[in-house]
Amino acid sequence: MKIDEITISKAIIESFTKEFLGALDVDVAIAGAGPSGMAAAYYLAKQGVKTVIFEKNLRVGGGMPGGGMMFNRIVVQKEGKDILDEFDVRTAVYQKGYYVADSLETISTLCSKSIKAGAKIFNLINVEDVMIDDANRINGLVLNWTATSMAKLHVDPLSIRSKVVIDATGHDSEICRIVVRKIGAKLKTKTGEVIGEKSMCADAGEKALVKNTREVYPGLLVTGMAANAVFGSPRMGAIFGGMLLSGKKAAEVSLGIIKKGKLT
């Protein structure tokens, strides 16, 4: 068979456009394809929830691929290991209570399993704003190409609608900061704003992470490091069990909101 360049181009454009059109109206939209965002997408998609992730970078994974200081290994505790076992990610006991995993195997498996479960992931797309309804409830995201945002080109964005939005943008907690800047200091924090993460304390940070994973504004949840940053809890470093547990809880909370019909 002779390979035709135009057929290749048409295949890419048509298949991508079809998937993107299918992502314009979803149940849950997640900003950020780090470990917590992809874990949330996996558990939601497994329940038949129409889920999409928008990742601004070329690659997925957040900080996980770099492991600790570019040693591509991560550590999880027993609860995190249970989730990695569910994903069929190999772990090794370092000492009692500490398990080591390959960061690249972990993140690539999370990505593959979430997509195969039915979630859609679009990389190189930046979330530049949120959509709101008449009651100021978040009901979607405003998107543009990352390259457009980086080049500061004046190009109007496109929008997608969702029943729930999850901020999984990590340390920067980008979606929550957009809400504070554009809607006002109304987050469910002590100040109503993004408090900002504290210095590292792995034990306290891991304990706080799942607790902080919740709805922080009507229609908006936080997960992963974004949750600790919003509520002013410590960072954890290269232990990732809490990230996985946070993603799983974000899926459970999202599902609860959808099932209870707390929607406009």
Residue 261 has pLDDT above 90, yes or no: no
R_g (Cα) of the chain, nearest Å: 18
Write out the E strands in 133-213: 138-145, 158-167
Q: How confident is the model at residue 264 (pLDDT cuts 50, 70, 90)?
A: very low
The per-residue DSSP string of 22-72 comes to: HTSEEEEEEE--SHHHHHHHHHHHHTT--EEEEESSSSS-TTGGGTBTTB-
Give the pLDDT confidence of 41-52 residue by residue, as tens digits: 999 999 999 999
Q: What is the pTM of this model?
A: 0.97
Q: Residues 84-93: what's their mean pLDDT?
A: 98
Give the pLDDT confidence of 175-213 residue by residue, as tens digits: 999 999 999 989 999 999 999 999 999 999 999 999 999
Residue 263 has pLDDT above 50, yes or no: no
Q: What is the pLDDT of residue 186?
A: 94
Residue 95 has pLDDT above 90, yes or no: yes
Contact 62, 38 (CB under 8 A): no
Name the superfamily (CATH) of residues 5-67+105-260.
FAD/NAD(P)-binding domain (3.50.50.60)
Contact 207, 71 (CB under 8 A): no
Residue 72 has pLDDT above 90, yes or no: yes
Give the pLDDT confidence of 27-40 residue by residue, as tens digits: 999 999 999 999 99
Q: What is the pLDDT of residue 224?
A: 98
Domain ranges of the chain: 5-67+105-260
Q: What is the mean pLDDT of the chain?
A: 97
Q: What is the pLDDT of residue 16?
A: 98
Q: Compute the distance between CA of residue 249 and CA of residue 236 in angstroms, rounded to an integer.
A: 18
Q: How confident is the model at residue 92 (pLDDT cuts 50, 70, 90)?
A: very high
For 150, the token pair is 């980086």
One-letter amino acid of 207: K
The percent of residues in the chain predicted with pLDDT above 90, rounded, is: 97
